[in-house]
Amino acid sequence: MNSIIIGQYIPGKGFFYKLDPRTKIVAVLFLMIAVFMLENIAQLFMALGIALFILLLGRISIIKVIKGLKAIFVLLIFTFVFQVALNTEGKILSQANMHFNLYSVIGVVLAFIIWRLLVRVGKFKILMFIAFILGVYIILRYVNFGTDFYSFSLTIYEKGIEMSVFVVVRILIIITFTTVLTLTTKPTDLTHGIESLLRPLKKIGFNSEDFALIISLSLRYIPTIFDEAQKIMAAQASRGADFSEGKLKDKLKQIISLLVPMFIIAFMRSEELADAMESRNFVPGQPRTRINVLKFSMIDVYSGIFTLLCLAGAIVNKVI
């Protein structure tokens, strides 16, 4: 769980910590729009360069970001595989019959078992997953002896490869941007920023303060609830319900033994919180002042100009 860094603030000093959260939110939004406007791979790799430059500027270690990507790596691989398999534009790169026969199915099952065994002992899980998918491809393609009970032709097009790289790199860039945002901005500052940005919506009846309060409360309680979940798991493990041992059928029952106390504790907590807020004179909807008032500084101006330049570049590129 600690390896997921998307949405986790890590205290530190540096360029991005000094930026106003509003600047950061708007910049991430604009840069994301700019990335979606790019049309070919060369431009996209330029954008990747900018993303790396941003990491460098903020002195954020790339390893940290890569570790954070672990959680969505499966998604990336699936995107890649589907793009390769389903896109039918451009020149044909390779055409191959995929065979499903007794031997190839046994081979796939063996590959699967070997992969699961290796994952248990080894470290490079993601590399093994890629190797597994490649292995399945090779087995299905070349094990062509015996009678096929099913076969289909897998054609890989040039455009398919290009698009899959395109999509994956685009996701990588966007995640890098958002990770920089959440790594360097305290959740409270983030909601602060969102609230301040949404304030004009009050005219159409949307109260951004309430919205910000809801978000900041839920963010505040994620670690608490996570803590509670671990305590409940420990308590249930003491009664023989260890989540890392046992069969699937037992696990279902164990999940209930986790969920029920979770709900009860969450309700208890929220009631206590409501009481605590009211006893400190919190009245919903009343105007409130802040301890830390957000202020723009010169670096916000520079970052804003940089962002606008990137966006303008992307728009000009799209139009021309």
Partner 1 sequence: MGIRFNQVTHEYASYSKVTYKAIHNISLSILEHDEFIALVGHTGSGKSTLAKHMNALIFPTSGTVEIFNNIITKKRDKKIKYNSIRKSVGLVFQFPEYQLFEDTVEKDIMFGPLNFKVSIEEAKKVALESLELVGLDESYLNRNPFNLSGGEKKRVSIAGILALDPEILVLDEPTSGLDPEGKNILMRLFKDIHKKTNKTIIIITHDMDLVYQYFNRVLVLKDGELSFDGSPERLFKSDILDKNHLDFPNTIKTLKHIKETMNLDINIYQKTVEDVIKELNRVTKNE
- Binding positions for partner 1, rule: CB under 8 A: 2, 10-11, 228, 231-232, 234-242, 244-246, 250, 256-257, 259-261, 264-265, 268
Nearer to partner 1, 194 or 232 (CB): 232
Which residue has 């070919």 as its token pair?
A: 40
Nearer to partner 1, 3 or 281 (CB): 3
The one-letter code for the residue type at 313 is G
Nearer to partner 1, 71 or 235 (CB): 235
Smallest gap, in angstroms, from Cβ of residue 232 to partner 1? 5
Token duo for residue 51? 């993303």
Which residue has 């106390």 as its token pair?
A: 261
Closest among 188, 123, 162 to 45, alpha carbons compared: 162
Nearer to partner 1, 178 or 257 (CB): 257
Smallest gap, in angstroms, from Cβ of residue 231 to partner 1? 5
User: What DSSP element (H or E) covers 215?
Assistant: helix 208-237
Cα 20–Cα 26–Cα 29 angle in degrees, nearest 5: 140
Smallest gap, in angstroms, from Cβ of residue 253 to partner 1? 8
Smallest gap, in angstroms, from Cβ of residue 38 to partner 1? 34
Nearer to partner 1, 190 or 241 (CB): 241
Cα 115–Cα 64–Cα 295 angle in degrees, nearest 5: 150
d(CA 4, CA 28): 20
Smallest gap, in angstroms, from Cβ of residue 22 to partner 1? 26
- The gap between the terminal CA atoms of the chain, to the nearest Å, is 46
Smallest gap, in angstroms, from Cβ of residue 79 to partner 1? 30
d(CA 174, CA 180): 10
d(CA 36, CA 38): 6
Nearer to partner 1, 143 or 241 (CB): 241
Cα 162–Cα 164–Cα 167 angle in degrees, nearest 5: 110
User: What DSSP element (H or E) covers 156?
Assistant: strand 148-157
Nearer to partner 1, 10 or 301 (CB): 10
Nearer to partner 1, 114 or 258 (CB): 258
d(CA 177, CA 187): 16
Smallest gap, in angstroms, from Cβ of residue 190 to partner 1? 18
Smallest gap, in angstroms, from Cβ of residue 55 to partner 1? 18
Cα 182–Cα 188–Cα 194 angle in degrees, nearest 5: 75
